Amino acid sequence: MSEVAAVNEVQIPVWGASRPSLLALRVAAGESPEWIAARTDSLLRSLQSAFDVSSWQIAADNGWELWEGSPDELVNIVRKHPVREFVGASEDIGDALPGEGYSFTISGAGPRVSPLVRIAAGHPAVGQRLPRRRLAVELREAHENALRSVDADAVTAAVVETWEPATTEFADLAVRRLARRGNWKIGVGYRTWVGAGVGTVSHLVDALTATELAGGTLISAPDDWPAARVVEAMTATLRENGLDEVPH
C-alpha cells in the first residue's frame, strides 16, 4: 500500500451543504437484540463524543423517546422496533413481521452537527439481490458551513470501530447520483472504507490516499474535489485492485 499521510486540510468541504451521509454494509445474519443494542449504544457514544450530542431520541409510534437506560432496557427498546409491513403512501403503521429483524431511526442534536442514524439488522438471511442489513448516518448541519473535513473521518471511524461492517462510504448527493452503485457494489465517496474480509488496496489512482483503520483500508479523496473527480478516481481505484462487490 502506498504510505500517504491524511490529506484533507480543507476547512469547509465541498460536500458540507449537500446532505452528506455514511452508508455501511454488513455481511451477517441473525444479529440478536442484545448485539444490536450493545453495538448501537457503542456507536452513539462514539458519535456523541465526536459531535457533542447531548442526548439521543429514537423514533416511536407516538413520537420520539429517549435512547437511555441499562443494557437490558436498551434491548427492550430494540425489541419494540421490529421490521414492519410496508403500507405504501399510507400514514398507517404496518404490522410487525416476526423474524424479519429490527429497524429504527435515532436522532441526536449537537451545537454544530446533528447526526441522524438509521439501522436495519437482525434478519436471519444475509440477503440475495439486496443486502438485508444496512446502517446510515446523515450529518445534518446546525448552521451554514458547520461541517468540517474531520467530520468525515470521525463518522467513518465511529462506524467501522463499533458496527463491524464489510464496507462503508461517505458521500454527498452529487457523488451518489454520479456513481450509481447500489445493491452489493462497494460504494464510492470522499471516504471509502474496505474491510479486510472484502479485499486489499495496493494501488491508488490520482491523488487519493490510503490509511489503515480498524483492520481495513480507508481510501480518502481531497474534500475540495468535485463529485465527478471523486467518482472517477474511486471507481478506478476499486477496479485496479479487483474490487467490485462485497462477497456475500
pLDDT in tens, 101-118: 899 999 999 999 999 999
Asked whether the predicted pLDDT for residue 7 surpasses 50, the reply is no
Distance CA 53, CA 108 (A): 6
Average pLDDT in the 52-61 region? Answer: 93
Distance CA 2, CA 240 (A): 14
Q: 10 Å Cβ neighbour count for 224?
A: 16
The range of the structural domain enclosing residue 70 comes to 21-240
pLDDT of 96 reads 62
Question: How many structural domains are present in the chain?
Answer: 1
Distance CA 154, CA 152 (A): 5
- What single DSSP character describes residue 119? E
Provide the percentage of residues in the chain whose pLDDT is more than 70: 85
Could you tell me if 139 and 158 are in contact, meaning their C-beta atoms sit under 8 angstroms apart?
A: no
Asked whether the predicted pLDDT for residue 17 surpasses 90, the reply is no
Contacts of residue 98, defined as CB under 8 A and 6 or more positions apart, other chains included, come to 82
Provide the percentage of residues in the chain whose pLDDT is more than 90: 71
Whether 48 maps to a domain, the answer reads: yes
pLDDT of 2 reads 36
Whether 176 maps to a domain, the answer reads: yes
Average pLDDT in the 77-89 region? Answer: 74
Asked whether the predicted pLDDT for residue 87 surpasses 60, the reply is no
Q: pLDDT-derived band of residue 98, with 50, 70 and 90 as boundaries?
A: low
- What single DSSP character describes residue 196? T
The pLDDT mean for the chain works out to 88
pLDDT of 132 reads 55
Asked whether the predicted pLDDT for residue 11 surpasses 90, the reply is no
Asked whether the predicted pLDDT for residue 6 surpasses 60, the reply is no
Q: What is the pLDDT of residues 150-180, one digit of tens each?
A: 999 999 999 999 999 999 999 999 999 999 8
Whether 247 maps to a domain, the answer reads: no
Whether 154 maps to a domain, the answer reads: yes
| Strand ranges (E), the chain | 21-25, 56-60, 63-66, 102-108, 113-121, 134-141, 167-171, 191-194, 209-213, 216-220
pLDDT of 185 reads 87
Whether 82 maps to a domain, the answer reads: yes
Whether 208 maps to a domain, the answer reads: yes
Could you tell me if 42 and 56 are in contact, meaning their C-beta atoms sit under 8 angstroms apart?
A: no
Whether 13 maps to a domain, the answer reads: no
Whether 217 maps to a domain, the answer reads: yes
Give the Å distances, CA to CA, from 187 to 51, 66, 93, 111, 207.
Answer: 25, 32, 31, 30, 18
Residue type, 97: L
Higher pLDDT: 60 or 89? It is 60
Asked whether the predicted pLDDT for residue 72 surpasses 90, the reply is yes
